[in-house]
Amino acid sequence: MVKRLSLRVSGQGLHEVTDEVRAAVRESGVREGLCTVFLQHTSASLTIQENADPSARRDLETWLNRLVPERDPLYTHTAEGPDDMPSHIKAALTATSLSIPILDGDLGLGTWQGIYLWEHRRHSGARKLLVHVGE
């Protein structure tokens, strides 16, 4: 089963999507298997990260912004603004798909793990995810 999700995010940062992915797994009826989440974009990414303390997410965002700053004079791909090329680099350094085991009809995540869409652009918009659930 493949579930198509369209999620509106409010700009740069880590946006938790665990509940939406979990709902797709439960809807599938699969008890044991694998869930693959794929992001259909080149300026955002996916990650599994701590879902309890927001400071961990803020530190990750700060670190990646320091690693890939905006307005670097080396960038030539800037047609959509100063966050254009940095967003593509950040997506290339992270992941656009995740695989999560399904155990007893639920995501096999650890206690403190959540699934996050990591938006690298400043503007808000809809992001499309494909959630594939198989046995």
**At which residue do the structure tokens 């995540």 appear?**
109
Contact 82, 71 (CB under 8 A): yes
pLDDT at 124: 77
pLDDT at 125: 86
Q: Which helix (H) or strand (E) holds 121?
A: none
Any idea of the CA torsion for 61, 77, 71, 69, to the nearest 10 degrees?
30
Q: Could you read off the pLDDT tens digit of each residue along the chain, which spans 135 residues?
A: 999 999 999 999 999 999 999 999 999 999 999 999 999 999 999 999 999 999 999 999 999 999 999 999 999 999 999 999 999 999 999 999 999 999 999 999 999 999 999 999 998 789 999 999 999
pLDDT at 83: 95
Length of the chain: 135
In this structure, what CATH number is given to the domain that contains residue 62?
A: 2.60.120.460
Partnered with residue 107 across adjacent β-strands are: 102
Inter-axis angle of helices 54-67 and 84-93, nearest 10: 110
Partnered with residue 125 across adjacent β-strands are: 9
Contact 133, 4 (CB under 8 A): no
- Number of structural domains (the chain) is 1
Distance CA 85, CA 83 (A): 6
Separation in Å, CA 128 to CA 3, 42, 58, 111: 10, 11, 24, 26
Per the structure, the complete domain to which residue 87 belongs is given by: 2-134
pLDDT at 7: 97
Q: What is the pTM of this model?
A: 0.95
